[in-house]
Amino acid sequence: MGGNGPSRPSPTTASTAAWPRLVHQRIGGYEAFGDYMRAVFDRTEAWLAALDASELNRVVIGRPLPEQIASTYSARVAGPQGITLLDAAECWIYQHGLRHMGEIELAGAWSASAA
């Protein structure tokens, strides 16, 4: 895990003072967590299925892009008109999933280092 090693978090992911407490964090109700994940996934799938395809080209964030958006992955895939609903859905769903995968990987590394 980079130059920090698995036992010390990157300063961008968690504060150094908090990580010893976080490394022992566990999902209290695994079945309930799975139910929650499934509900979120199903709701997203239902939204996508109900979406009129013509809406996908609608610009949701026009150019010039706001400062907080201009340096994001979404801005890199945006066309000349700005970020469309299709861009937003693809980028934000993808990024959200990757963020969770990173959290899981980091938690696993912390747990392994605490053992």
Looking at the domain assignment, is residue 17 inside a domain?
Answer: no
Residue 106 lies in a domain: yes
Output the tens digit of pLDDT for each of the chain's 115 residues: 444 444 555 555 555 666 666 667 677 788 888 898 899 899 999 999 999 999 999 999 999 999 999 998 889 999 999 999 999 998 888 888 887 777 777 777 766 666 5
Residue 94 domain-assigned?
yes
- Domain residues for the domain of 83 are 53-115
Is-above-0.85 flag for pTM? no
Is 48 inside any structural domain? no
Establish if 57 belongs to a structural domain: yes
What distance in Å separates the CA atoms of residue 42 and residue 55, rounded to the nearest whole number? 20
**76 token code pair:** 């890199």
Closest Cα to residue 110, out of 25, 34, 30? Answer: 25
Domain count, the chain: 1
Residue 96 lies in a domain: yes
